[in-house]
Structure 1
Amino acid sequence: MSFRGLSRPNATSGMGVADHTKDTFLQLQRKKVYRYVIFKIDEKKREVLVEKTGGPAEGYDDFTASLPENDCRYAVYDFDFVTSENCQKSKIFFIAWSPSSSRIRAKMLYATSKDRLRRELDGIHYEIQATDPTEMDLEVLKDRAR
């Protein structure tokens, strides 16, 4: 059995995370500059980049409308809610969006690069894997956050 090919990078490994990506996440997390950030893998640069940000006044519908219908993305969403004790809270969700209609190559690339990005984004409370909009409905976030 040969192990020669194991050390060579292939199409699904070695994805970097741009400094701008981490900085944008920190602005969402610490300064509340954004409500959400959508990340895209740039296959040519072999990096995860920021594709879109949503301002603090934007809602969950604005966020979900920003995700492509037929392609994968990563996203973080800062979810504000009020607890049963009437306390204002905020939880950051990491969403791995991989619609069933997206290309198999894209699904593989996003699946194998997810852990690297997650390690770079310190401070995420919950993670959701979604293949269709119902799996990341606002009610799903509410249930997880409580």
Structure 2
Amino acid sequence: MASGKTSMSGICVNEQCVAIFNHIKTKSAYKWVTYKVNDAGNEVIVDQLGAGDSTYDQFVGIMPENNCRYAVYDYAYLNADTNQTVHKLVFVHWAPESSTTKNKMMYASTKDFLKSYLDGLGAELQATDFKELSEPEMRERVHQAITRK
């Protein structure tokens, strides 16, 4: 467990979550990672990894319809002004409407705790349905993060 600490809801973060995030940040072997709270409800663990050549549609396609997830997506954005590709690590909080209230509350109360271990996030996207998780929404979040700085 990362530093042996737990969130206010009693959930800890598995060290592998941070290690995979740092791997995505420094290498391009993975395009994204999803995290979930384990079945015991006491630890955030790595759920799935996307290969470096995986697509955004593949990322969206693995999100469960009835359960929450966290994710980090390495989004490549072409800046029209400079014609340069910019990479931003986007934190995604997936909380579908069809998820149970208990599940949504558990994920919401642990989100900032998990994010505190992930140094280098460039933007955040919260989604409750697949439309909010669309690639144009992701692009808009990244664009906002770039122009805000």
Settle same-fold status: TM greater than 0.5: yes
**Superposed CA RMSD:** 1.2
Partner of 2:72: 76
Query: Once the two structures are aligned, what percentage of the paired residues are identical?
Result: 36
Partner of 1:7: none
Aligned mate of 1:121, from 118, 121, 134: 118
- Displacement after TM superposition at 1:44 (Å): 1.5
- Displacement after TM superposition at 1:100 (Å): 0.3
Structure 2: tracts of 5 or more residues without a match: 1-7, 144-149
Q: Give, in whole Å, the separation in 2 of the partners of 1:104 and 1:118.
A: 21
Q: Give, in whole Å, the separation in 2 of the partners of 1:134 and 1:65.
A: 12
1:93-117 deviation line (CA, Å, top 9, x unaligned): 1010000000111001001010100
Aligned mate of 2:17, from 18, 21, 34: 21
- Displacement after TM superposition at 1:133 (Å): 1.0
- Displacement after TM superposition at 1:43 (Å): 4.3
Aligned mate of 1:30, from 21, 26, 29: 26
- Does the 8 Å CA contact 2:125/2:141 hold for their aligned counterparts? no
Q: Give, in whole Å, the separation in 1 of the partners of 2:41 and 2:128.
A: 26
1:45-84 deviation line (CA, Å, top 9, x unaligned): 6110001000110010000001101100001100012111
Structure 1 SS opposite 2:16: helix
TM score, norm. by length of structure 2: 0.87
- Displacement after TM superposition at 1:123 (Å): 0.6
Structure 1: tracts of 5 or more residues without a match: 1-11
Q: Give, in whole Å, the separation in 1 of the partners of 2:15 and 2:57.
A: 28
Q: Give, in whole Å, the separation in 2 of the partners of 1:71 and 1:47.
A: 16
Q: Are 1:64 and 2:24 an aligned pair?
A: no
TM score, norm. by length of structure 1: 0.88
Whose Rg is larger? Answer: 1
**Letter matched to residue 65 of structure 2:** E
Structure 1 SS opposite 2:110: helix
Deviates more, 1:44-53 or 1:67-76: 44-53
- Displacement after TM superposition at 1:144 (Å): 2.2
Q: Give, in whole Å, the separation in 1 of the partners of 2:141 and 2:112.
A: 20
Q: Give, in whole Å, the separation in 2 of the partners of 1:42 and 1:95.
A: 18
Structure 1 SS opposite 2:132: helix
- State the 4+ residue runs in structure 1 displaced beyond 3 angstroms: none
- Displacement after TM superposition at 1:128 (Å): 1.1
The structure carrying a bigger helix percent of its residues is 1
- Does the 8 Å CA contact 2:90/2:142 hold for their aligned counterparts? no
**Letter matched to residue 98 of structure 2:** S
